[in-house]
Amino acid sequence: MFGNGMRRDLVKKARDRKKDAVRQAELKTELNIREEENTRVIERTNWGDTIRKLILDLALLALSALALVGLVALVYPAPRAELYKILMDTIEQFHGLVG
């Protein structure tokens, strides 16, 4: 009677409804809403949390890129020599600045 695609869709919808009912019960318990009330709890994202997560993800990406550059600089001799020169210049500038 039903094709495989239609059966899969029905099963997926039933599972989604079950998950939603469980999540609604958890939210109602968490927010102290009585079960007999005809209320649907909707979760909303906070822009501050979203922006903070974006900044953290970008920082992780930048640190990963720097770690990759550092690894390449340690493995290959030519970048290692350049990195050593930059490090020595930085130390000299720091000594000039401090003392």
5-38 tens-digit pLDDT: 788 888 899 999 999 989 988 888 888 888 776 7
CA 99/CA 8 separation, integer angstroms? 74
pLDDT at 45 over 60: yes
pLDDT in tens, 52-73: 999 999 999 999 999 998 898 8
CB-based burial label for 78 (10 Å; 0-12, 13-18, 19+): exposed
Distance CA 19, CA 11 (A): 12
